Amino acid sequence: MKQLTQKMKTGELSLLEVPKPIIHERAVLVKNQYSVISAGTEKSKIDLGKKSLLQKAKARPDLVKQVLQKIKTEGLFQTYQTVKNKLEEETPLGYSSAGIVVEAGLEVEGLQPGDRVACGGAGYANHAEYVAVPKNLVVKVPEKVSLEQAAFTTIGSIALQGVRLAAPLLGEKFLVIGLGLVGQITAQLLKANGCQVIGYDPEQTKVEFAKKYQIEGCHEAEAIKNIIDKFTHEIGVDGVLICAGTSSNQPIEMAAEVCRSKGRVVIVGAVGMQVPREPYFKKEISLVVSRSYGPGRYDPQYEEAGIDYPIDYVRFTEKRNMESFLELLAEEKINVTELITHRFLFAEAITAYGLIEGKATETYLGILLQYPSQPEIKAFSASKEIARSLADKINLSVIGAGNYATTKLLPILAQDEHVKLQCLMTASGRSAATLVKKFNFSNAVGNVEEVLLPHSNVVLIATRHHSHAALVCQSLQAGKHVFVEKPLALTKEELIRIYQQLMTMPQLQLMVGFNRRFAPLTQKVNEFFENTITPKVINIRVNAGLIEASHWINDPHIGGGRILGEACHFVDLASALANSLPIALSAYGTAGSKSALLNDNVVVNIRFANGSIATLTYTASGSKLMPKEYIEIFAGGKSALINDFCEAVLFSGQQSKKIKLRQQNKGQKQMLEAWLQGIMTGYPCLNNETLLVNSLATLAIVESLAKGKEISIDLKDLTSE
């Protein structure tokens, strides 16, 4: 299928051939019929993309701050790679569309194939022939509403949420600043609510557009105060909705000037926010910024997990705003058809964007893209050759390509002479086209079944955590060697299924991305203690840093929390340093509101089969200025430490030796080389028992936190249930 994207590095637009997106159980697959170009929002995104790197930095100082912080914690090289990959990404455009349901996830209520729907959400309702949209961002279209009209639903919901926050009363008078698409709809909504409305926009043509709906307006800023005085008998308007898109502070200053005492100002668009205190203070004006489509926006539990807000407490959510707007269209209270100035076939999308980029002098407002009734679906291929099995190479296919895979794993695999990269599958399909070319995959595919075809003998899984176990089992069943990024599983039941599958396929090799045991400094420390027979005492401190509660790793059903998702690394590292498997552990978490699963401030005591012991301190409460990982090892009169995998110090008697690396090395390259060598020779670099027991031990941390007692660890636990 085709999708419109923009490369952030250059701002260049492309109609890419990408795989059809994949849906999960709480989403629907929709064949787009129409989508609307939101000139204001999308123009600002395009303008940012076309800026130089320095101009981008000036325009987004918030992102510059994040980059500087990343340099402090992860180093210049790693940060450079991350930023470079981000700039080379093909990002989607569009967020308001309408089409026909092709497939509904198992947990989607009230929708089925063939239903006409309106779709919303940046990153979901894109300009693409097919879109995968979470169920809370999809609504049925009433019979009286055409799909052409329904394509405006998301944009209309933005206007509707702004009007709701303004709380208009019958007969009140309002000024709408900015008469673009959102402003025009806002003015209509206010009139439908029984208000008197006047509009302002510096472009006279947009003021003329508003007159079609009996909305008087003005395009001269100097005249607006006099017009408002006449309009309100010198009282001032009851409220102002700012729907403009400008870095200027003029709209917010104008709003204060024309608003009455105790009036309301709602900011809907992106404008300058240097609020002049004096007029807002003297008039006691209420000022609020509208959050896009309404309650639920930017909440992953609502948008991605599909958890609705109770209607008793949140009357109008994103979805209910979308439904309300469609009802207004059905009742002909709102007219969006008159706002359409241009219609383009989707194949002409780049020409359509030329309007908002200023390449044409035509007046525009609503720009509609129309999609073919039968889009052509084909796999994107980097070459004309069909993927073929090469006897002297590892034919590797990849499922999932997030930041870690694209910066740490794929660059290494792409350069390995023993590896032929075959199929790539990503959730959205959007990034696949770029990555196929960048890393020289044979093609991009749209489902797991294609990945598991005979052209590949090895599968690398780098998806979100909740899908790992099922994909591992599916790949093993298909006769593939498997590498899965940690964690191996999120539940004991998942580990049991993996164990059972491995028992039926003893010839296949499973590998988990426990890279720290392969790090050069870990290897140096293990060599240092090689002839030491006494048990080791190990301390591992992880200053993990705080991440947002809304991050997907903190979703118990998707990420499983940071203990299962990241602390598993350090359980395995402790096992590697102890040269033994864990047999029992006890864990203690800080008191607070977090559950055992999501607690990210814990201390874990681990006992190993050879008598060694380890303490793991994992905390999100520390300063980011402090190095992230610090490891100490003691045994047989020797000591060693590893500082953030940049340096190590070995102590023996009265002597010490410092080993300092040029840059941080956590062992990804060494891990992949050892894994590939194991596949080629038939001797795996890690045995299944190590992978399963250390994964079982990580699950035991959460169990110990919940039960408040020591938990024993035994591989037999995976066979006794």
Residue 80 pLDDT exceeds 70: no
Question: Among 20, 17, 124, which residue's Cα sits nearest to residue 447?
Answer: 20
Report, as an integer, the average pLDDT of 291-303: 92
Half-sphere exposure of 323 (CA within 13 A, CB side): 12
Residue 43 pLDDT exceeds 80: no
Question: CA-CA distance, 77 to 613, in Å (whole number)?
Answer: 35
Can you read off the two tokens belonging to residue 65? 């701050």
Question: Residue 147 has what pLDDT?
Answer: 97
Give yes or no for a contact between 433 and 17, defined as CB atoms under 8 angstroms apart: yes
The pLDDT-based confidence of 388 (bands split at 50, 70, 90) is very low
Residue 391 pLDDT exceeds 50: no
Can you read off the two tokens belonging to residue 116? 């006409």
The pLDDT-based confidence of 598 (bands split at 50, 70, 90) is very high
Q: What does the pLDDT look like over 507-543, one tens digit per residue?
A: 999 999 999 999 999 999 999 999 999 999 999 999 9
Give yes or no for a contact between 539 and 635, defined as CB atoms under 8 angstroms apart: no
Report, as an integer, the average pLDDT of 357-365: 79
Measured CA angle at 347 (ends 344, 348), to 5 deg: 45
Report, as an integer, the average pLDDT of 129-143: 96
Question: Which residue reads 């394509």 in tokens?
Answer: 151
Question: Among 17, 92, 91, which residue's Cα sits nearest to residue 437?
Answer: 17
Report, as an integer, the average pLDDT of 167-192: 96
Question: Residue 611 has what pLDDT?
Answer: 97
Residue 67 pLDDT exceeds 70: no
Question: Which contacts (CB < 8 Å, 24+ apart) does range 77-85 have?
Answer: 77/663, 78/407, 78/664, 81/407, 81/411, 82/403, 82/407, 85/403, 85/406, 85/407
The pLDDT-based confidence of 653 (bands split at 50, 70, 90) is confident
- What is the gyration radius of the CA atoms in the chain, in angstroms? 29
The conformational region for residue 621 under phi > 0 = left, psi -120 to 50 = alpha, else beta, is alpha
Helices 688-707, 568-578: inter-axial angle, 10-degree rounding: 120
Residue % of the chain over a pLDDT of 70 = 92
Q: What is the mean pLDDT of the chain?
A: 90
Residue % of the chain over a pLDDT of 90 = 74
22-26, 103-107, 253-257: range with lowest mean pLDDT: 22-26
Question: Residue 637 has what pLDDT?
Answer: 95
Question: Residue 387 has what pLDDT?
Answer: 31
Question: Residue 390 has what pLDDT?
Answer: 36
Q: Residue 128 has what DSSP assignment? A: B
Residue 383 pLDDT exceeds 70: no
Give yes or no for a contact between 290 and 297, defined as CB atoms under 8 angstroms apart: no
Q: Which has more pLDDT, 696 or 245? A: 696
58-62, 197-201, 265-269, 284-288: range with lowest mean pLDDT: 58-62
Residue 385 pLDDT exceeds 50: no
Report, as an integer, the average pLDDT of 133-148: 96
186-190, 311-315, 358-362, 380-384: range with lowest mean pLDDT: 380-384
Residue 642 pLDDT exceeds 70: yes
- The DSSP code sequence of 486-527 is SPS-SSHHHHHHHHHHHHH-TTS-EEE--GGGGSHHHHHHHH
Question: Residue 39 has what pLDDT?
Answer: 79
pTM value?
0.77
Question: Residue 33 has what pLDDT?
Answer: 97
Question: CA-CA distance, 199 to 176, in Å (whole number)?
Answer: 5
Question: Residue 57 has what pLDDT?
Answer: 64
57-66, 430-439, 486-495: range with lowest mean pLDDT: 57-66
Residue 384 pLDDT exceeds 70: no
Residue 146 pLDDT exceeds 50: yes
Question: Residue 75 has what pLDDT?
Answer: 64
Q: Which has more pLDDT, 52 or 668? A: 668
Residue 138: in which H helix or E strand, if any? strand 138-140
Q: What does the pLDDT look like over 433-443, one tens digit per residue?
A: 788 989 999 99
Q: What does the pLDDT look like over 452-464, one tens digit per residue?
A: 998 899 999 999 9
